[in-house]
């Protein structure tokens, strides 16, 4: 009986060899039509169609900038940020599972969207840099999710990936519940550029999983430009 059961299971495995598991909801499907997302999860991705010309957040179809970027109270130091989706629904679940569920397979799903996004842009970059993770969080997580995403983006653009050029020198506090000003203060002086000659005069693409207020991207951009970088662009999967 057990032998017959094994043979039957082998038959089913062969019959449904193309089945896959949605990396978001873990539901099994026979076909992969959306890059390892089922139809339901793909439809629950809130893509940013009209983006702020500075921070990449979603704006109305006739708006050039979001209300924050229109304000003179705070100016971003990066040149422009590009984001794929809003931090809600499927996008939020994917980022959470990657960072806190430690599901590294999800990085490939996210990086596919980042590669598609960056290939649609009319920008020229000389290198790709992932947002660095502090040593303590790296030990806890075992990897830097931005490294995984940036690697695929650099390969697609055929430019160098620089994972050791920008270092996080201070273990900052988690910024989840912080205001914009608190975030700015929290990351101030938290990063350093190892070799100014590598970045001097270069256009740099900084890759991360999510942009919230942009304080981290701003601080890294400030340090890169202080060392002579020409332009710093941000590419992120989500904007919160």
The answer to whether the beta carbons of residues 201 and 230 sit under 8 Å apart is yes
CATH architecture of 47-239: 3-Layer(aba) Sandwich (3.40)
The predicted model scores a pTM of 0.89
Helices 106-119 and 145-157, axial angle in degrees (round to 10): 40
pLDDT of 125 higher than 50? yes
Question: Mean pLDDT throughout 234-238?
Answer: 98
Residue recorded with tokens 């502090």: 134
pLDDT tens figures, 186-214? 888 889 999 999 999 999 999 999 999 99
Sign of the dihedral defined by the CA atoms of residues 109, 111, 117, 119, in that order: negative
CB 19 within 8 A of CB 30: yes
Q: CA-to-CA distance for 226 and 203, rounded, in angstroms?
A: 13
Task: Give dist(CA 22, CA 27) in Å, integer.
Answer: 5
Signed CA dihedral, 174, 177, 180, 185: sign only:
negative
Delimit the domains of the chain by residue range: 1-43, 47-239
Higher-confidence residue of 79 and 6: namely: 79
Burial (CB count within 10 angstroms: exposed 0-12, middle 13-18, buried 19+), residue 135: exposed
Q: What is the pLDDT of residue 6?
A: 59
10, pLDDT greater than 70: no
Determine contact, residues 56/80, Cβ cutoff 8 Å: yes
Q: What is the pLDDT of residues 11-69, one digit of tens each?
A: 444 444 557 889 999 988 767 778 889 999 999 999 999 999 999 999 999 999 999 99
Tokens of residue 40, six digits: 């339901």
Q: Look-up: residue for tokens 């919160």?
A: 240
Q: Is 70 exceeded by the pLDDT of residue 240? A: yes
- Which of 173-182, 192-201, 206-215, 229-238 is the least confident region? 173-182
């Amino acid at each position: 009986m057990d032998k017959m059961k094994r043979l039957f299971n082998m038959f089913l495995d062969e019959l449904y060899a193309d089945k896959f598991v949605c990396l978001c909801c873990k539901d099994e499907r026979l076909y992969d039509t959306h890059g390892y997302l089922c139809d339901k999860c793909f439809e629950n991705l809130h893509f940013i169609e009209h983006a702020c010309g500075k921070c990449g957040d979603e704006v109305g179809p006739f708006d050039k900038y979001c209300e924050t970027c229109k304000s003179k109270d705070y100016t971003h130091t990066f040149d422009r940020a590009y984001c794929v989706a809003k931090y809600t629904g499927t996008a939020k679940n994917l980022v959470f599972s990657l960072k806190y569920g430690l599901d590294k397979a999800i990085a490939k799903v996210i990086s596919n969207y980042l590669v598609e996004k960056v290939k649609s842009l009319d920008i020229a970059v000389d290198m790709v840099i992932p947002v660095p993770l502090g040593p303590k969080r790296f030990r806890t997580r075992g990897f830097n999710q931005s490294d995984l995403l940036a690697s695929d983006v650099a390969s697609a653009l055929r430019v160098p990936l620089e994972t050791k050029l920008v270092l996080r020198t201070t273990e900052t506090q988690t910024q989840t519940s912080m205001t914009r000003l608190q975030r700015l203060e929290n990351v101030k002086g938290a990063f350093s550029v190892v070799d100014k000659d590598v970045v001097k005069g270069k256009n740099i693409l900084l890759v991360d999983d999510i942009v919230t207020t942009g304080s981290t991207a701003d601080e890294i951009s400030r340090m890169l430009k202080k060392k002579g970088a020409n332009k710093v662009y941000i590419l992120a999967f989500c904007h919160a």
